[in-house]
Copies of this chain bind each other. A is one copy, B any other.
Amino acid sequence: MTTSANSYIIGVDLGGTNIVVGAMSADGVRQYAMHSTPTPPRSEGSSERVVERMIEMVEVTIAETLKETGAKRGDILGVGIGAPGPLDRENGVVIIAPNLGWHNLPLRSLISDAVQLPCTLDNDANCATYGEWWVGAARGARNVVGITIGTGIGGGLIIDGKLYHGSSDVAGEIGHMTIDQTGRRCGCGNYGCLEAYASGPNIAERAREALRSGDISVLPSMVGGDLERISAATVYEAAHKGDVVAREVVRDTAKFLGVGLANLLNVFNPDVVVVAGGVTQAGDALFEPLRAEVRRRAFKPAVAACRIVPGELPGTAGVIGAVGTFRSQMIS
C-alpha cells in the first residue's frame, strides 16, 4: 500500500469511558473530524453495541473527512484501532478487556468487514505512546517510555524508533510493575503494583484515606460531603487551591510514579518519558517532585539522557497513534 498526496487514515481509540475517532492525512500533518462518544456501558449484549457504535463513528468520520477535503472513498486507506489489551495483534483479537466484558473478540475483522477497509489492531497505550512519538512530546526521540494514567496505568515502549510489543504483545504493562512487594492490593490480583498507588481511582482513594484519618481539607466541601464522589480531578483542583491534604496526595503520587519511572530509566534508559492522562492536570506540583524522585533513584547517566515531559496530545494521542500504527504496518 502506498500513499498519495490526498490519502487519509482513520484512527479509533476505544477506551472504557469514551470512544474517540478521527481522521488524519496519511503523512500525519492534518487532522479531521475528531469525535468523542461515551462508551456504551457494560451489560448484556454490550459488546455488539460497542462495536456498532465504533462502526457508526468510523462511517461518520469518513463522510465528514471526504466532505471537508474533497477526497473520494478510495482515498481512505484504512482504519487503525487502539483497544485495551491483552490482545493478539496478528489475528486482530482482543483477548480480555475486563472493563468491556470482552473475551476473544475478533474486533479487527468485525470493523473491517463492516466498513470494507483494511484495519490494524494495537494496544491503546501503545497507540498513545506512538502518537506522542510521531507528532507529540517525544517527536524525534529514539527510545521512549509512554505512561498513561487514567482508570488504570498503561504504558508503551518505542525502541530504536519502533513500537516494541514483546514476545506475546504484552510489553509495556508499566502499571503492573511491583514497587512495593508487600504493598497495596491491585485490581490485577497482585500486591504493590504501581497502578495500585497512582491510577486515578487510587489517587482518589488515598485522599479518602487521609480524610478518614481526620485530616482537615476542602475536599469534602467540593463533593457535597460525599467522599465517594472524590475523583483524581477533585484532588488536583484542591491541590491548586493550596489544600494541604490534596497537595500531600499529589506529592505522594509523584513519589510512587518516580519509583516506577526510575526503574524504567535503569532498565530501559530512554531518552524521553511521556506522562499522559488526567494526572498531568496537576502540573508542576506533580512533575517537580516526580523528577526529583527519579533523580534520587536512577543512575546518573540514565537521568542525564532522559527528559520527563507531559503529553502534548491530551484526548487525541490514542487516535493519532492508531493512525500511526496503521501507517507503520500497512504502508511501505
A interface residues (Cβ-Cβ under 8 A, vs B): 86, 95, 142-143, 155, 157, 159, 164-174, 176-183, 188, 190, 192, 255-256, 259, 262-271, 296-302, 304-306
Q: Are B266 and A177 in contact (CB-based, < 8 A)?
A: yes
Residue of B167, B265, B306 near A270 (CB, 8 A) is B167
Q: Are A269 and B143 in contact (CB-based, < 8 A)?
A: no
Copies in the complex: 2
Q: Are B306 and A171 in contact (CB-based, < 8 A)?
A: no
The residues of B that contact A302 with a CB separation of less than 8 Å are 166, 168, 170, 173
Query: Could you show 5 A-B contacts with beta carbons less than 8 Å apart?
Result: A95-B301, A166-B302, A166-B305, A177-B267, A180-B182
- A-B pairs, 9 with minimum CB distance: A166-B269, A168-B305, A171-B269, A173-B266, A167-B271, A170-B269, A170-B302, A167-B305, A177-B263
Q: Are A301 and B267 in contact (CB-based, < 8 A)?
A: no
Q: Are B173 and A86 in contact (CB-based, < 8 A)?
A: no
Residue of B173, B179, B264, B265 near A181 (CB, 8 A) is B179
A305 to B164, CA, bound (A): 15
Other A-B pairs beyond A167-B306, A179-B181, A180-B181, 13, CB < 8 Å: A86-B300, A142-B167, A155-B267, A157-B267, A167-B270, A170-B266, A170-B302, A171-B267, A177-B267, A178-B259, A190-B296, A190-B297, A267-B267
When C-beta atoms are compared, the residue in chain B nearest to A178 turns out to be B259
Residue of B157, B180, B190, B269 near A180 (CB, 8 A) is B180
Residue of B165, B177, B270 near A166 (CB, 8 A) is B270
With known contacts A178-B179, A178-B259, A296-B190, A168–B301 Cβ distance under 8 A: yes
Q: Are B172 and A267 in contact (CB-based, < 8 A)?
A: yes
The residues of B that contact A297 with a CB separation of less than 8 Å are 178, 190
The residues of B that contact A174 with a CB separation of less than 8 Å are 266-267
Q: Are A269 and B299 in contact (CB-based, < 8 A)?
A: no
Q: Are B178 and A263 in contact (CB-based, < 8 A)?
A: yes
With known contacts A167-B143, A167-B305, A176–B270 Cβ distance under 8 A: no
Distance (Å) between the CB of A6 and the closest chain B CB?
35
Distance (Å) between the CB of A70 and the closest chain B CB?
42
Distance (Å) between the CB of A302 and the closest chain B CB?
4
Distance (Å) between the CB of A21 and the closest chain B CB?
27
Residue with the highest number of chain B CB atoms closer than 10 Å, among A86, A267, A296, A299: A267
The residues of B that contact A167 with a CB separation of less than 8 Å are 142-143, 269-271, 305-306
Distance (Å) between the CB of A28 and the closest chain B CB?
24
The residues of B that contact A269 with a CB separation of less than 8 Å are 165-171
Q: Are A169 and B263 in contact (CB-based, < 8 A)?
A: no
Q: Are B179 and A299 in contact (CB-based, < 8 A)?
A: no
A305 to B169, CA, bound (A): 10
When C-beta atoms are compared, the residue in chain B nearest to A293 turns out to be B181
